[in-house]
């Protein structure tokens, strides 16, 4: 057996050397001390992956056959010196059980009880042009020499966007199932003087609070264990600055995000030599997975970009990538809308809604979005205590059904959208009465509610069918439905799947994969229908979900002052085209301030139009018109964060189109203390040689409250970027929006 294995390895090595994509290394200058008497090692093999400005280089060490990360960072002029280096690098996908002393990327217990895993390099290959993109998909196969257990590392590089996507596939053909305890998507290593971690955490209505701290020796973990609404406290994103803090325009930064809508974990471990390993993937907590022989365990994608020019560039890289590959129809346009959640709550009927359809038209937006409260009869959905799961129109509120509203909307020249929360159930519902076994809940324990509801057991194929049919049935019956808001209002607690029986530790993973299966099926049938992802606000914001969704609801908090910080936070990782912002009456700021804030992404309204004064209505109508003219720049342009609300009583950001012929600048005075000076700000991203005209939009029809206006002036890009504009005002909570045109 050993002989056969040895021959196989020899053949593999020969294939490797013959493969033109694999460049054998120069032999090292001489063996390091202590190994003089060992037999000569095979030559090292280098595998270079990367983008236009970044290299991620692996080395197969000829001495031990293992795969190492030899380099990750700014593109090297050439890799010859790297090949000369005696330092193999750091393990590319560290295992547990043999000689690894730190956190592993993977841990498995073989079917014979052997708790160790050894992974040796076998082969590599690559594909280009996957999905019509310029991406390169590199595959590196690793195998345990003693057990039929293998891991394929996938490294997909997007050259133009400077983004890398990494994931792993784990497989075995042992006689019985093998339990895997850790299964990272990626493992990256850094050797820097200092490491500064920026994290984004929060809670309902206070999402994406940004905090930066220096990492010290040992482990720091960012994770979630909430299962559903998984990102309520912690979004699966981080920025890591190397060798010191970075700012918007300078410093070395890694920006990373996991495409997974369930439990995730980012683990940062600094070892005794000051090296940092970053292990990203599904949170292995309470999630050991029994892998059947022949089945593939595919991890979600870790998506990351490296910028040598600060956080701004890192965000722009991710935005460009997300528009093309990360968000459904990310390069497309979006529908402006009027929503009724904050305006009416559950309290509406057909007559009221018909009037709102008229207001939708009056406002000039594209669509009316009917929120929660339209369904259930035995236990009507008149509050959040009943009805979830019974997706039939409530006869008292909508005697003529959704069909009537869809038709009415069409008659009035607007589109119609609808809210659903198909993964959930209220105990007070017919669904609960008829299918108590379709629900995640523990035996021998009282039920535990959050927002008076429970989570359906998506691991059960019958439940999957129910969720698919709920959405598909509604769309088949009402083909005029032009938009969906898909909500998910609770996390998992007392988690137990009646369907999974003795495999309870699979529930967090299987839930998410089955949710994706349902979304896959829906997207095959309705490929472009706009669907807003909502989870009590931003409880499920990640690129695993966003490939099925056109946009997400960033937060239930629509107070415009709070919203500046929340949208600021999301802007580090998610493009404006995906972030839904509504003008509401939650905050006490002026209508202008609230409208300006909502305009920074996908704009909507959730406000009582019939209570507006004539002037207010006119202002909003004009804002909608301006937005329709400018939304391409805002939704798809390059974002420059110029003044951070975390650093000043002011926030300024701007979007610039690719041709640098049009930009939109948003400026906000959050507070203005007596005598406070706001310095001129220098614009970014323009063409110095071009001359731009500044035009203020969203101008108040009465009583302007912002400091001296630059409107009507023309400046060169050179002037705007070196001398700058006055974006200051003595009025707290005032704002300005400039349209900047070549
Ligand atoms: C969640 C959403 C809100 C609204 C309500 C309806 O809280 O975040 O926008 O849709 O549900 O119940």
User: d(Cα 4, Cα 411) in Å, to the nearest integer?
Assistant: 76
3-state secondary structure of 80: helix
Ligand 1 centroid to 517 CA: how many Å? 24
537 in ligand 1 pocket by Cβ < 6 Å?
yes
Pocket test for ligand 1, best of 451, 534, 535, 552 (most atoms within 8 A of CB): 534
Ligand 1 centroid to 342 CA: how many Å? 9
Q: Whose CA is nearest to atom 7 of ligand 1?
A: 536
The atom of ligand 1 lying closest to the CA of 419 is 10
Pocket test for ligand 1, best of 203, 372, 382 (most atoms within 8 A of CB): 372
Ligand 1 centroid to 535 CA: how many Å? 8
Ligand 1 centroid to 440 CA: how many Å? 22
Pocket test for ligand 1, best of 426, 556, 557, 563 (most atoms within 8 A of CB): 556
Q: Cβ(240)–Cβ(196) under 8 Å?
A: yes
Q: How far is CA 239 from the centre of its chain?
A: 13
710 in ligand 1 pocket by Cβ < 6 Å?
no
The atom of ligand 1 lying closest to the CA of 485 is 10
Ligand 1 centroid to 161 CA: how many Å? 34
User: d(Cα 378, Cα 91) in Å, to the nearest integer?
Assistant: 59
489 in ligand 1 pocket by Cβ < 6 Å?
yes
Closest CA to 619 of 711, 537, 700: 700
542 in ligand 1 pocket by Cβ < 6 Å?
no
Pocket test for ligand 1, best of 347, 485, 489 (most atoms within 8 A of CB): 489
What is the block-wise mean pLDDT of the chain (742 residues), using blocks of 10 residues? 49 44 36 50 94 98 97 94 91 97 98 97 94 90 98 98 98 98 98 98 98 98 98 98 98 98 98 98 98 98 98 98 98 98 97 98 98 98 98 98 98 98 98 98 97 98 98 98 98 98 98 98 98 98 98 98 98 98 96 97 98 96 98 98 98 98 98 94 98 96 79 97 96 96 98
Q: How would DSSP label each residue in 123-142?
A: EEEEEE-GGGSS-EEEEEEE
The answer to whether the Cα torsion of 693, 697, 700, 701 is positive or negative is positive
3-state SS record for 645-709: CCCCCEEEEEEECCCCCEEEEEEEECCCCCCCCCCCECCCCCCCCCEEEEEEECCCCCCCCCCCC
The atom of ligand 1 lying closest to the CA of 371 is 10
Q: Whose CA is nearest to atom 2 of ligand 1?
A: 536
Q: Rounded to a whole number, what is the distance in angstroms from the first to the last CA of the chain?
A: 73
Q: Whose CA is nearest to atom 9 of ligand 1?
A: 556
Ligand 1 centroid to 649 CA: how many Å? 31
The atom of ligand 1 lying closest to the CA of 536 is 8
Cβ neighbour number for residue 419 with a 10 Å cutoff:
21
556 in ligand 1 pocket by Cβ < 6 Å?
yes
3-state SS record for 421-486: CCCEECCCCHHHHHCHHHECCCCCCCCCCECCEEEECCCCHHHHHHHHHHHHHHHHHCCCEEEEEE
Question: How high is the pLDDT of residue 202?
Answer: 98
What is the b/e burial string over 397-416, where b = at least 16 CB atoms within 10 angstroms of the residue's CB?
bbeebbebbbebbeebebbb
Pocket test for ligand 1, best of 203, 231, 340, 341 (most atoms within 8 A of CB): 341
Ligand 1 centroid to 448 CA: how many Å? 20
207 in ligand 1 pocket by Cβ < 6 Å?
no
Cα–Cα distances in angstroms (integers) from residue 14 to residues 43, 123, 230, 231, 646, in the given order: 11, 11, 47, 47, 57
252 in ligand 1 pocket by Cβ < 6 Å?
no
Q: Cβ(467)–Cβ(518) under 8 Å?
A: yes
Question: How high is the pLDDT of residue 25?
Answer: 33
Ligand 1 centroid to 391 CA: how many Å? 16
Q: Whose CA is nearest to atom 1 of ligand 1?
A: 536
Ligand 1 centroid to 194 CA: how many Å? 42
Residue 622 main-chain phi, psi, to 5 deg = -65, -40
Interstrand relation of 45-50 and 90-91 (parallel, antiparallel or unpaired): unpaired
Ligand 1 centroid to 231 CA: how many Å? 16
Question: How high is the pLDDT of residue 36?
Answer: 47
Residue 492 DSSP code = -
Q: Whose CA is nearest to atom 8 of ligand 1?
A: 536
Residue 361 main-chain phi, psi, to 5 deg = -65, -45
User: d(Cα 152, Cα 142) in Å, to the nearest integer?
Assistant: 6
Ligand 1 centroid to 487 CA: how many Å? 7
341 in ligand 1 pocket by Cβ < 6 Å?
yes
Closest CA to 605 of 581, 586, 570, 589: 581
Ligand 1 centroid to 703 CA: how many Å? 35
User: d(Cα 398, Cα 476) in Å, to the nearest integer?
Assistant: 19
371 in ligand 1 pocket by Cβ < 6 Å?
yes
Residue 392 DSSP code = S
How many helices and strands (H and E) does the chain possess? 14, 38
Q: Whose CA is nearest to atom 12 of ligand 1?
A: 372
Closest CA to 511 of 180, 284, 285, 263: 263
User: d(Cα 377, Cα 395) in Å, to the nearest integer?
Assistant: 7
419 in ligand 1 pocket by Cβ < 6 Å?
yes
Pocket test for ligand 1, best of 203, 346, 487 (most atoms within 8 A of CB): 487
User: d(Cα 446, Cα 733) in Å, to the nearest integer?
Assistant: 48
Count Cα neighbours of 619 within 13 Å in the Cβ-side half-sphere: 21
pTM higher than 0.85: yes
Q: Cβ(298)–Cβ(254) under 8 Å?
A: no
User: d(Cα 698, Cα 553) in Å, to the nearest integer?
Assistant: 24
Ligand 1 centroid to 618 CA: how many Å? 28
24-31, long-range: CB < 8 A, 24+ apart: 25/59, 25/62, 25/83, 26/80, 26/83, 26/84, 28/84, 28/86, 29/84, 29/86
Sequence-ordered alpha helix ranges (H) in 341-437: 341-344, 350-363, 401-412, 430-434
Task: Give the torsion through C-alpha atoms of 359, 360, 364, 367, to 10 deg.
Answer: 180
Q: How would DSSP label each residue in 230-279?
A: TTSSEEEEEEEEESS---SSSBEEEEEEEE-SS-EEEEEEE-TTSEEEEE
Q: Whose CA is nearest to atom 6 of ligand 1?
A: 372
372 in ligand 1 pocket by Cβ < 6 Å?
yes
Q: How far is CA 295 from the centre of its chain?
A: 28
Question: How high is the pLDDT of residue 39?
Answer: 64
Give, for 210, the enclosing helix (H) or strand (E): strand 209-214
């Amino acid at each position: 057996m050993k002989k056969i294995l040895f021959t196989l390895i020899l053949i593999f090595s020969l294939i490797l050397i013959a493969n033109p994509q694999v460049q054998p290394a120069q032999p090292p200058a001489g063996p390091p001390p202590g190994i003089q008497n060992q037999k000569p090692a095979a030559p090292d093999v280098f595998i270079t992956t990367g983008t236009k400005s970044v290299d991620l280089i692996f080395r197969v060490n000829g001495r031990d056959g293992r795969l190492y990360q030899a380099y990750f960072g700014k593109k090297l002029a050439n890799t010859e010196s790297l090949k000369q280096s005696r330092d193999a690098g750091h393990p590319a996908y560290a295992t547990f059980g043999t000689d690894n002393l730190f956190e592993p990327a993977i841990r498995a217990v073989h079917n014979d009880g052997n708790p160790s895993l050894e992974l040796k390099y076998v082969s590599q290959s690559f594909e280009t042009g996957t999905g019509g993109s310029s991406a390169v998909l590199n595959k590196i196969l690793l195998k345990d020499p003693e057990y039929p257990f293998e891991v394929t590392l996938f490294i997909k590089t997007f050259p133009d966007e400077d983004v890398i996507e990494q994931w792993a596939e784990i497989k075995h053909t042992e006689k019985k199932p093998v339990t895997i305890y850790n299964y990272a998507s990626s493992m990256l290593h850094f050797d820097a003087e200092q490491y500064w971690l920026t994290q984004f955490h929060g809670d309902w209505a206070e999402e994406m609070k940004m905090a930066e701290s220096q990492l010290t020796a040992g482990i720091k973990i960012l994770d979630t264990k909430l299962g559903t609404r998984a990102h309520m406290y912690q979004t699966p994103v981080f920025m890591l600055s190397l060798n010191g803090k970075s700012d918007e325009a300078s410093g070395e930064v890694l920006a990373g995000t996991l495409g997974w809508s369930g439990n995730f974990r980012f683990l940062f471990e600094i070892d005794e030599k000051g090296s940092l390993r970053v292990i990203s993937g599904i949170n292995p907590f309470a999630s050991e997975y029994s892998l059947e022989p022949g089945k593939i365990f595919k991890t979600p994608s870790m998506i990351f970009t490296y910028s040598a020019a600060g956080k701004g560039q890192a965000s722009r890289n991710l935005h460009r990538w997300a528009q093309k590959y990360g968000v459904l129809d990310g390069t497309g346009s979006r529908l402006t809308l009027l929503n009724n959640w904050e305006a009416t709550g559950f309290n509406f009927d057909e007559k009221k809604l018909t009037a709102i359809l008229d207001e939708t038209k009056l406002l000039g937006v594209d669509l009316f979005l009917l929120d929660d409260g339209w369904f259930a009869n035995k236990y009507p959905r008149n509050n959040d205590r009943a009805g979830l799961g019974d997706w039939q129109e409530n006869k008292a509120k909508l005697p003529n059904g959704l069909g009537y509203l869809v038709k009415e909307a069409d008659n009035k020249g607007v589109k119609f959208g609808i809210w659903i929360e198909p993964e959930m159930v209220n105990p007070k519902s017919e669904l609960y009465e008829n299918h108590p076994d379709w629900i995640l809940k523990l035996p021998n324990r009282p039920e535990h509610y959050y927002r008076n509801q429970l989570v359906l057991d998506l691991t059960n194929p019958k439940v999957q069918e129910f969720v698919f049919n709920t959405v598909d049935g509604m769309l088949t019956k009402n083909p005029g439905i032009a938009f969906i808001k898909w909500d998910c209002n609770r996390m998992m607690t007392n988690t137990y799947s009646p369907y999974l029986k003795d495999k309870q530790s699979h529930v967090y993973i299987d839930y998410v994969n089955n949710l994706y299966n349902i979304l896959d099926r829906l997207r095959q049938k309705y490929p472009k229908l706009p669907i807003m992802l909502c989870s009590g606000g931003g409880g499920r914001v990640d690129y695993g979900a966003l490939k099925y969704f056109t946009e997400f609801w960033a937060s239930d908090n629509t107070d415009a002052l709070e919203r500046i910080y929340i949208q600021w936070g999301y802007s580090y990782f998610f493009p404006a085209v995906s972030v839904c912002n509504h003008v509401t009456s939650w905050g006490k700021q002026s209508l202008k301030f609230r409208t300006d804030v909502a305009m920074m992404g996908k704009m909507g309204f959730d406000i009582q139009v019939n209570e507006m004064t004539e002037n207010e209505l006119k202002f909003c109508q004009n804002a909608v018109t301006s937005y329709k003219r400018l939304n391409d720049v805002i939704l798809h342009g390059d974002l420059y964060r110029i003044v951070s609300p975390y650093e000043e009583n002011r926030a300024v950001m701007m979007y610039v189109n690719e041709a640098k012929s049009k930009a939109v600048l948003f400026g906000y005075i959050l507070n203005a203390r007596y005598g406070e000076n706001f310095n001129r700000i220098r614009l970014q991203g323009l063409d110095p040689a071009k001359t731009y005209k500044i035009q203020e939009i969203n101008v108040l029809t009465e009583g302007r409250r912002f400091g001296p206006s630059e409107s009507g002036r023309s400046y060169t890009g050179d002037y705007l970027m070196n001398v700058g504009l006055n974006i200051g005002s003595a009025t707290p909570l005032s704002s300005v929006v400039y349209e900047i045109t070549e």
